[in-house]
Homo-oligomer: A and B are copies of this chain.
């Protein structure tokens, strides 16, 4: 599973564009980090909400995949995210965690922290679907 997730992550052109890194994969939980750069900003010079969302969506998707059968693919059906603090940090840490996994649907929670993993910048709830290949 680890190998499959690493390979899949490696194929995501956007993750390379954002220079995001897959730093942890365990059953039900995946962590992705992303260093600050001016290429990733909104108009005030902080991380753009879109970067925050992109990496936490990927973290939730792969967390869901860790609970699915080997031949399954995962797709995001929908998510909701609350932005609670400015994304003003030198590195974003996104953690996706499975809250409920079923045969078809998986519900994940995503957390975005600052580089010290102390300040909760945003919180996501995502619904994922398993696609049998």
Contact = CB atoms under 8 A, between A and B. Distances in A.
Interface of A: 8-9, 11-18, 37-45, 48-51, 53-55, 57-58, 75-85, 99-100, 104-105, 107, 120, 123, 125, 127, 129
A39 B53 contact: no
A12 B125 contact: no
A50 B40 contact: no
B54 A39 contact: no
A66 to B, nearest CB: 15
Q: Which of A42, A51, A84, A123 has the most CB of B within 10 A?
A: A42
Given A78-B81, A125-B123, A127-B77, A48 B53 contact: no
Contacts of A40: 13-14, 17
